[in-house]
Structure 1
Amino acid sequence: MVEKEIVIDLANYQKGLTVSDYKKIGAKYAIVKATEDTNYINEQANLLINHSAAGGVKGFAFYHFGRFHNDAKAISEAKYFISGTKKIVNLQKGALMILDAEISNMPTSSVIAFLKEIRKAGYKAGFYTYKYLLPNFNLKKIKPYMDFFWLAAYPLGNGVKADKNPNFNYFPSADYVDLWQYTDNLLGYEVDGSISVTDNAIKLFNPEKVSKQDAPAPHKASATWKKKSGVFVLGQNLKLHKNPHIDSPAIAMLKKGSEVKFDATLQGPLRLWLRQPRSGGSYGYIVAKDKYGKLLGKFK
């Protein structure tokens, strides 16, 4: 018997969800948007992963929103998906990487070219689309190149609040489906909700349930703080944040030339955070290197 699990998918639209929200949602698996086309990387990915992991999510996959209409562009987008995801998370071989195909005039041959590139790089290849778009694709031709098929069909309509028990009388009639996305408003949190319909769906999220040969290593989503004291002199006006993520509210706006005493550092793929001890045992956080790795001041 297939053990059905709820899976949520997360993009920067969900950056406002708190750890408490994720605990109330109660999902154990999530698919995070990493890239789009060849010009977008989701800088909120680590925030989404860290908050959802703290709220109970234990397995992750990643998706790319495709914008290609030919094989050459499909291959370049697949390469961008891989390199872009590596910039924001510790991407392990064998991880599940999914193509989100929901634009018109996307050829089947180009979908296959994308999936082949993902597999060639050592990852599991997934394919996602909407039921109404299925006539645009030759699913039988795609099947040998995908490890996972994720299909969207909303029986209640867009934006309608749904619980974690979808009505399977409305299950989309299509072959090979592993994961059914049945709502875009799970429990009223405006997050897409899916349910697994095969064992394969969840096996690919959880390395403990696949062979050692095929298993992705455990996901390491978050960097760790390192104890390090010093003084950072601002090279420009910068916000002192309440939390170590770029959209966190500001405690203060510090002027160029201000000196910030810090007691710990957090190094992401490129961005570097410094932690400033404050009165009452609280902390402020400031960016020393931006998302491109550019130093925004100097260490004294």
Structure 2
Amino acid sequence: MYLNYFGLNDNPFSIAPNPDYLYMSPRHKEALAHLTFGLRESGGFVMLTGEVGTGKTTVSRKLLQQLPDNTQVAMILNPTLSALELLATVCDELGLAYNSDKASLKYFTDLILSKLAENHQAGINTVLMVDEAQHLLPEVLEQLRLLTNLETNREKLLKVVLIGQPELQQLLKRNELRQLAQRITARYHLLPLTAPEVSAYIAHRLSVAEGDISIFSKSTLRAVHQITGGIPRVINLLCDRALTLSFTKQHAVVQKPIFLAAAEQILGEDVVSQRVQSQRKWYLVSAFFVAVVCGYGVGSLYV
């Protein structure tokens, strides 16, 4: 709708995972480095956590791109499975044929362990990536741990990447999962973008679509960080709506009032009002402390 008006050749804020728009902030790069290091270690698990929309999928996709060619990856995208269902899914992902009539934990485990040994002999690394891992049942996580028992003198034959929301951290603190927690060789919690990173993120996406960050005023960019909390997915939603509103009102630059109106349409007036008020309180508190410090400094001259 607004592409031609703003001189864009594509929608810069689509929430569809388009690799052309991949933006790796310093913290995304740090997360990737932690996971990459962890997979090179001898342990069986690495873990990435973060709130919804912080970019865990971005990091995991980049991780997959960087894995060596001699790597077979099994993906679990629906973790609400029983232990038996999970093992069957792993077999499917590894291309293993099986007899459903013989289905049992031991039957599937033996098939998978045999495949891991076969891959190792052929010089192939095996990685299992589990998304939304906070939904895994404790008994399913324990079954994953048992799969990582197969090892050489140097390393585990299966490396598991757990990706999930912060609840995953709490789940792994349970006493019955302490053995699994001890096998995590790298863990990283992905935080939201900072204010400068939000501006860089928006500039990057606009640049890919042959646009320029100047279509957002500086006060709008500050408001984007304030209202979205630095969550990339929310940034995309609100910036897309703000561009649409600016187009309908024939504004060449997205101003702060337009952005706040867009935010209210998507998040609701109460949420936006609450975040604006909290930011104002923060400014007032900061100004108070600055005044106190300055006053103390001036007063000390007369002591």
Question: TM-score by structure 2 length?
Answer: 0.29
Structure (1 or 2) with the larger CA radius of gyration: 2
Q: Which of the pair is proportionally richer in strand?
A: 1
Q: Which of the pair is proportionally richer in helix?
A: 2
Q: Which of the pair has the greater relative contact order for Cα pairs under 8 Å at 6+ separation?
A: 2
Question: TM-score by structure 1 length?
Answer: 0.29
